[in-house]
Structure 1
């Protein structure tokens, strides 16, 4: 079994010029939590997940009271969670996306795919052929494919 035999070919993706707002809309409308980012040639250039967004809006400023943070505090520049969440909607997706991501080739063996997903603790792997996005494989896809004939 290889990637091509278990991958989903209808990949929900986002273009590199899109905003985080469009990503969140895709998350909500499709019940997903991550998606690949592609350029105009459909080459995979990044990946964004709900975890990336959470890490960004959950950032806290340093607790140390240095001169810079004191000035920011006086001028009201200490963004609150809701303010950061509102601001992030209009950011370009590449501002917070992972640019160094794991992918697999369309003919990769399922055993190697399982190894990557497990070792790297990631939920999905974009699949490429000739450097172009052609599918996506989740941990669930691997489990279903590996065990459907054993149960």
Structure 2
């Protein structure tokens, strides 16, 4: 005789129970930002102090002009030591990545997770009307999934 498992009828979820999580719900709004005229050494100090791996570079109007990361800083150190150059003269504007991909704050968190996988990035800035309003990281995506799990997948 075989074993039968009966769980009863499956409860259908109503559409109002379905939670749609947006990037804007989990993005970091209080950001550590950098200026293009800052020295790379200042950035290194802040990366270590705040335990972050990079951040957005903005102008005086808080418009996104680039991103700088640990890797950009390491590249600067390597180049300056290799060419025996003084490190203090190099600025963020010379080492940042200026072609920055952004995402929409209204994007679904799962679409954002997929974008992280495709782009192989650690963070994406969120810009509205040309102004930086936040940033979402891979860690923010993980936090969102933990909350979702508590609400039931």
TM over 0.5, yes or no?
yes
TM-score by length of 2: 0.76
Q: Does 1:45 align with 2:65?
A: yes
* Cross-structure match for 2:128: 129
Q: Conserved in 2, the CA contact under 8 Å of 1:21 and 1:90?
A: no
TM-score by length of 1: 0.77
- In structure 2, C-alpha distance between the alignment counterparts of 1:54 and 1:92, rounded to whole Å: 13
The structural deviation recorded for 1:90 is 2.9
Q: Does 1:92 align with 2:91?
A: yes
The structural deviation recorded for 1:12 is 0.5
Q: What secondary structure is seen at the aligned counterpart in 1 of 2:97? A: coil
* Cross-structure match for 1:116: 115
Q: Does 1:15 align with 2:35?
A: yes
The structural deviation recorded for 1:143 is 1.5
Q: Conserved in 2, the CA contact under 8 Å of 1:123 and 1:138?
A: yes
- In structure 1, C-alpha distance between the alignment counterparts of 2:109 and 2:148, rounded to whole Å: 15
The structural deviation recorded for 1:81 is 4.5
Q: Conserved in 2, the CA contact under 8 Å of 1:104 and 1:126?
A: yes
Q: Conserved in 2, the CA contact under 8 Å of 1:8 and 1:136?
A: yes
Q: What secondary structure is seen at the aligned counterpart in 2 of 1:127? A: strand
Deviations 1:46-87 (A, max 9, x none): 00101112223335xxxxxxxxxxxxxxxxxxx644945xx2
Q: Conserved in 1, the CA contact under 8 Å of 2:116 and 2:138?
A: yes
Gaps of 5+ in 1: 60-78
Q: What secondary structure is seen at the aligned counterpart in 2 of 1:104? A: coil
Listed as ranges, the matches of 1:7-86 within 5 Å are 7-59=27-79, 80-81=81-82, 83-84=84-85
The structural deviation recorded for 1:139 is 0.3
Paired positions, count: 130
